[in-house]
């Protein structure tokens, strides 16, 4: 973990130089109860007393923590100065700020990006109170752009962990293909995948209760909810939305199966056509991805593909970033809807990892696909071979 934090702190310094931000301040307390997502990258551990993690454009770094918390931070060997306090953080915090004398102090709040919105309102008010009689009160800015780039631009180590999580997810899909049978309930499928995760000591990429999300046939409710008692029967599409965490980093993939009816050798035309259109939309979107492209333009490609073949549009974004969690914040390959704020208007960057996902409802069930891609210098790369045919259950 210390190695990864060092990578991200050094990356933050480079980004601050790029964005001309003098100081980034992560101000927290009792993080086991109210954690700031930035703590993954600046500390990697929980803090009890108030603490300030300070990174500067010049490259100098400070951690001000309560005595008792400081030992964990010293062991990281990341910060130039670890300053323990007893009665109050105020004096040490103001001294460091005065030493840096920043024109811009980035703090963790955001209107649209939940992963960059870790500073609680109470801590914001406390910080303003500390700075009330100083010139720095008017130099506070949002760290949204800085943090979004830091979290989005994956390091080689982060990409290694995500790739491993993807590989393990595919392995578990393949095991399910061998063992799944007609009569399995959605919960049976979920329990099967959970047991496989437990055998490998893997965590869920999102809420364990509905990772995986399982849908058997057209009667299944779907959405972000636990698998139910609906049974897989002949003529059904089985759909899974599944991801695992490996060393703190996630995957997020969707795959489908079809249960052949008697006399069938392949899925019915309705299901096959839907699958091919979904594949086409994802491949077209992937072909257009490269650094500098505006996110909503990629989403529109998939929507236009659906319209071209007479299908209704999906009611979500085409893709979100993947990292610490399956939904990793930052820019999103989504439509220009109010609910997404400015996230679809941002530009795609190299080493970001996104999903490409959408589906079509059929009379046999939900036909969907979700892939994970990493943005390269001049395009993107799939992190695993996309599903190219519907997997059959006899």
Q: Where are the alpha helices (DSSP H) in the chain?
A: 2-19, 39-42, 70-76, 90-100, 121-131, 144-152, 156-179, 186-199, 269-288, 295-308
In the beta sheet, which residues pair with residue 294? 347
Is residue 69 domain-shared with residue 208, that is, in the same domain?
Answer: no
Is residue 384 domain-shared with residue 315, that is, in the same domain?
Answer: yes
Is residue 94 domain-shared with residue 146, that is, in the same domain?
Answer: yes
Is residue 214 domain-shared with residue 183, that is, in the same domain?
Answer: yes
Say whether 235 sits in a helix, a strand or coil: coil
Largest Cα separation within the chain, whole Å, is 81
The packing angle between helices 156-179 and 2-19, to 10°, is 120
Is residue 40 domain-shared with residue 177, that is, in the same domain?
Answer: no
Query: Using alpha carbons only, what angle is made at residue 285 by residues 275 and 370, rounded to the nearest 5 degrees?
Result: 50
Q: What is the CATH number of the domain that holds 69?
A: 3.40.350.10
Print pLDDT tens along the chain (394 aa): 889 999 999 999 999 999 999 999 999 999 999 999 999 999 999 999 999 999 999 999 999 999 989 999 999 999 999 999 999 999 999 999 999 999 999 999 999 999 999 999 999 999 999 999 999 999 999 999 999 999 999 999 999 999 999 999 999 999 999 999 999 999 999 999 999 999 999 999 999 999 999 999 998 766 677 899 999 999 999 999 999 999 999 999 999 999 999 999 999 999 999 999 999 999 999 999 999 999 999 999 999 999 999 999 999 999 999 999 999 999 999 999 999 999 999 999 999 999 999 999 999 999 999 999 999 999 999 999 999 999 999 8
Is residue 72 domain-shared with residue 102, that is, in the same domain?
Answer: yes
Residues 6 or more apart whose CB falls under 8 angstroms from that of 52 comprise 25, 26, 27, 62, 63, 64, 89, 93, 96
- Identify the CA nearest to 186 among candidates 216, 208, 206, 212: 216
Is residue 143 domain-shared with residue 174, that is, in the same domain?
Answer: no
Is residue 235 domain-shared with residue 99, that is, in the same domain?
Answer: no
In the beta sheet, which residues pair with residue 347? 294
* pLDDT recorded at residue 1: 81
* pLDDT recorded at residue 73: 95
Is residue 212 domain-shared with residue 89, that is, in the same domain?
Answer: no
Is residue 144 domain-shared with residue 161, that is, in the same domain?
Answer: no
Say whether 149 sits in a helix, a strand or coil: helix
Residues 6 or more apart whose CB falls under 8 angstroms from that of 338 comprise none
Is residue 132 domain-shared with residue 45, that is, in the same domain?
Answer: yes
Give exposure, 109-125, as e/b (b: 16+ Cβ within 10 Å): bbebbebbbbbbeebee
Range of the domain at 48: 2-151
Q: What is the CATH number of the domain that holds 315?
A: 3.90.230.10
CB 51 within 8 A of CB 63: yes
- The total of structural domains in the chain comes to 2
């Amino acid at each position: 973990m210390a190695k990864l934090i060092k990578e991200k702190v050094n990356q933050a310094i480079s980004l601050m130089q790029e964005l001309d931000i003098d100081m980034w301040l992560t101000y927290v307390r009792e993080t086991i109860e109210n954690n700031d997502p930035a703590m993954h990258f600046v500390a990697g551990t929980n803090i009890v007393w108030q603490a300030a993690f300070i990174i500067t454009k010049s490259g100098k770094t400070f951690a001000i923590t309560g005595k008792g918390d400081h030992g964990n931070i010293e062991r990281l060997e990341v910060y130039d100065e670890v300053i323990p306090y007893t009665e109050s953080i105020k004096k040490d915090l103001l001294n460091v700020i005065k030493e840096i004398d920043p024109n811009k102090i980035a703090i963790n709040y955001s209107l649209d990006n939940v992963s960059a919105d870790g500073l609680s309102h109470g801590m914001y008010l406390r910080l303003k109170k500390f700075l009330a009689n100083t010139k720095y009160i008017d130099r506070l800015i949002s760290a949204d752009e800085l943090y979004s780039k830091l979290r989005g631009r994956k390091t080689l180590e982060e990409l290694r962990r995500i790739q491993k999580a993807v590989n393990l997810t595919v392995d578990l899909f393949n095991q399910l293909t061998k063992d799944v049978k007609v009569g399995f309930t959605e919960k049976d499928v979920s329990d099967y995948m959970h047991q496989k995760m437990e055998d490998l000591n893997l965590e869920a990429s999102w809420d364990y209760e509905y990772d995986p999300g399982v849908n058997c046939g057209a009667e299944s409710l779907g959405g972000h909810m636990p698998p139910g008692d609906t049974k897989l029967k002949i003529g059904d599409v089985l759909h899974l939305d599944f991801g695992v965490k490996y060393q703190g980093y996630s995957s997020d993939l969707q795959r489908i199966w079809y249960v052949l009816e008697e006399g069938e050798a392949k899925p019915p035309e309705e299901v096959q056509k839907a699958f091919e259109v979904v594949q086409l939309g994802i491949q077209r979107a992937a072909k257009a991805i490269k650094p500098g492209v505006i996110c909503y333009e990629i989403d529109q490609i998939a929507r236009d593909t659906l319209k071209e073949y007479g299908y209704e549009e999906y009611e979500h974004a085409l893709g979100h970033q993947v990292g610490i969690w399956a939904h990793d914040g930052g820019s999103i390959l989504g439509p220009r809807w109010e609910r997404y704020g400015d996230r679809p208007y941002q530009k795609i960057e190299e080493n970001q990892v996104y999903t490409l996902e959408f589906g079509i409802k059929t009379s046999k069930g939900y036909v969907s696909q979700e892939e994970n891609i990493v943005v390269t210098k001049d395009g993107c790369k799939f992190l695993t071979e996309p599903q190219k045919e519907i997997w059959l259950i006899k």
